[in-house]
Amino acid sequence: MTALVDVTGRLRKMPAEAGDPVSYTIRVGDTLIPLNEMVGYTLQFDFDGVIRCINCDRKTNKSFSQGYCYPCFRKLAACDSCIMSPEKCHYHEGTCREPEWGETHCMIEHVVYLANSSGLKVGITRGSQVPTRWIDQGAVDAIPMVRVATRQLAGFVEVACKKYVADRTNWRAMLKGDVPELDLVEERRRMLELVADDLSELRAAHGENSIRAVDEDGVALRYPVEVWPRTVKTHNLDKSPSADGVLQGIKGQYLILDTGVINIRKYTGYEVRFRVFPNH
């Protein structure tokens, strides 16, 4: 059978744009392929065993922090532990791995938000990453709660909120479409009351204008999914280098195939042959 698409190259995180539904593209090397129109078609991935660092292009036996070789993982600020735990930011101590990167990525306004991806969760993101961050998490609703001056401050607020709400998504429930309805405006009001004392302490330490509660509207997101899986099985290209199946939907950074799901972001830097076949 002749493939409608046949390209080879490194996988990267899927670009996505808010719409009704969210619009997805898959990037293989320098080729961008619109994916929404491929729902109902058979996709095939063949991993050739080569992984290249997305920063330095070095060949690596293992990908670290979603696409980096070990030396870059150890060197780059984007891979530092404070990226996962922003409250541990050490920029002010003069020990940031890349101070200029820190200035452009961390010492800028961040949003602390509430989202509903598999239930209520709290999260943080740079202001410029709204709503991309919410799409990547597969949120069906999300709403800004406060805007803060730096990434570290966002981490402090998130830590305060984590006493009352989760900060992680149950990705299996998210992929099943098993998401409860929530009133995020009410949840925001409730959360701000719960952490009011924490916010007052942070403002006293960092400045009254360093944390601003916002009354911004939330965003509802719908995804191009035709069939939700009853059970979630995953394709693992490290164990089985070929994966194929009929594309039934896309949510977060996952492709939902009738044979299992594949997390494209997990395989950033993997060199693959990607093909699309008609189903009739």
pLDDT, one tens digit per residue, over 225-275 is: 999 999 999 999 999 999 999 999 999 999 999 999 999 999 999 999 999
For the chain, how many structural domains are there in total? Answer: 2
Identify whether 262 is part of a domain.
yes
Q: Provide the whole-model pTM.
A: 0.94
Query: Which pLDDT band holds residue 181 (cuts at 50, 70, 90)?
Result: very high
Is 76 domain-assigned?
A: no
Q: Residue 38 pLDDT more than 70?
A: yes
Residue ranges making up the domain that contains 159: 109-220
Tens-place pLDDT, residues 123-164: 999 999 999 999 999 999 999 999 999 999 999 999 999 999
- The band of 1, judged by pLDDT with boundaries at 50, 70 and 90, is confident
| 202 and 125 part of one domain | yes
My answer on whether 182 and 271 are in the same domain is no
- Are 120 and 44 contained in the same domain? no
> Which band of pLDDT confidence, cut at 50, 70 and 90, is reported for residue 280?
low
Is 54 part of any domain?
Answer: no
213, part of any domain: yes
Q: Are residues 31 and 113 in the same domain?
A: no
In this predicted structure, what is the pLDDT of residue 178?
84
Asked, for residue 194, whether it belongs to a domain, the answer is: yes
The answer to whether residue 279 scores a pLDDT higher than 90 is no
Percent of the chain having pLDDT more than 70?
100
- Two structure tokens written together for 144: 């800004």
| Domain co-membership, 19 together with 44 | yes
